[in-house]
Amino acid sequence: MKKTEKTFKIIAPKIPKKLTSIDSFDDTIHDEDLIIGKLISDCIIENQNAEKVNFKNTVFRNVAFTDVVFSRADIEDVRFENCDLSNIDLSGAILHRVELENCKLVGSDFAESSLLNVMISNSNGNYSNFRFSHFKKFKLEESFLSYADFQGSDFTDISLVNTELRGCQFSRTKLDGVDFSTCDIEGISVGLEDIRGAVVSSLQAVSLSRLFGLIVKDPF
């Protein structure tokens, strides 16, 4: 009997129709500040270092984050559009109902974070760090995350579509049921027990077999 494919739905951010518009950002953000109901656009947020900042019901559009540390931030019902979050430190953050579309996440640090109902699309997250993070209802599509680090992470209900994951680190991450078949996973680091139960294409299976010392030989 064919196994029924498990499906799930990503819950989109709850964004109010009326937002307070901000097109410049010179304020200093402090620990545990609350930023709620804003449309922050066409500006740079820089030289910020704060813990447990709360971002709620907010849209960031065409915003560049430079030298920003928001460790253990609480990010809920937030959308990032055309933003540059390269090298941002969001380690230990909680992301709930968050969308990142057409964003730069190169070298971004999400280590030890929790991501629930999160979608990343058409984005570049090469060299990003998700080590020891928890993912539940997470979708990644049409993006680049080569050499990203997912070591020791926990995956539940994950969708990976047409995404480059070359050289990613998946050691000690259970990949049972994760479908990589539309992605580029050349050169990933993964253990035999970790990859067990993952869904891959026939070409990917041949490539992965070499990681474990197997020699694939055509009998004819």
Q: What averages of pLDDT result for each successive group of 10 residues across the chain (220 residues)?
A: 62 96 90 97 96 98 97 98 98 98 98 98 98 98 98 97 97 95 94 90 82 62
CA 143: distance to chain centroid?
10
The closest of 200, 207, 208 to 182, measured between CA atoms, is: 200
Q: pTM for the complete prediction? A: 0.91
Specify the pLDDT at position 89. 98
- Please tell me the predicted confidence (pLDDT) of residue 207: 79
Domains of the chain by range and CATH?
Answer: 51-211 (2.160.20.80)
Beta strands in 70-166 (DSSP E): 74-81, 94-101, 114-121, 134-141, 154-161
What local confidence, expressed as pLDDT, does residue 26 receive? 84
Burial readout 8-41 (b: 16 or more C-beta within 10 A, e: otherwise) = eeeeebebeeebeebeeeeeebeeeeebeebbbb
pLDDT at 1: 35
Of 179, 148, 149, 175, nearest in space to 164 by CA: 148
In whole angstroms, what is the distance from residue 97 CA to residue 102 CA?
17
Residue for token pair 């998946």: 170
